[in-house]
Homo-oligomer: A and B are copies of this chain.
Amino acid sequence: MSTDGFRSGMLVFPNLTQLDLTGPYEILARLPGAETVLIWKTMDPVRTEHGLTILPMATFETCGPLDLVLVPGGAGMNPLLEDDEVLAFLRRQAASARYIVGICTGSLVLGAAGLLRGKRASTHWTAHGMLAQFGAVPVKERVVQDGNLFTGGGVTAGIDVALSVVAEIAGRETAEAIQLAVEYDPAPPFDAGSPDRAPPAVLDGVLTRGAARQRDRLERAQRAAARL
Contact = CB atoms under 8 A, between A and B. Distances in A.
B202 A176 contact: yes
A165 to B, nearest CB: 10
A50 B36 contact: yes
Interface stretch (A21-29, A87-95, A129-137): A21-29
Interface in A184-220: 184-190, 192-195, 197-199, 201-203, 205-206, 210
Interface stretch (A63-71, A78-86, A110-118, A152-160): A152-160
A188 B194 CA distance: 15
A154 B182 contact: yes
Contact of A156 (B52, B183, B189, B190): B183
Given A142-B185, A153-B185, A25 B54 contact: no
Contacts of A54: 52-55
Contacts of A143: 187, 189
A182 B25 contact: no
Contact of A36 (B51, B179, B182): B51
A199 B173 contact: yes
A139 interface: no
Nearest to A25: B52
B153 A183 contact: yes
Interface in A16-44: 17-19, 22-23, 25-26, 29-30, 36, 38
A45 interface: yes
Contacts of A25: 18-19, 50, 52
Contacts of A186: 156, 159-160, 184, 186, 188, 193
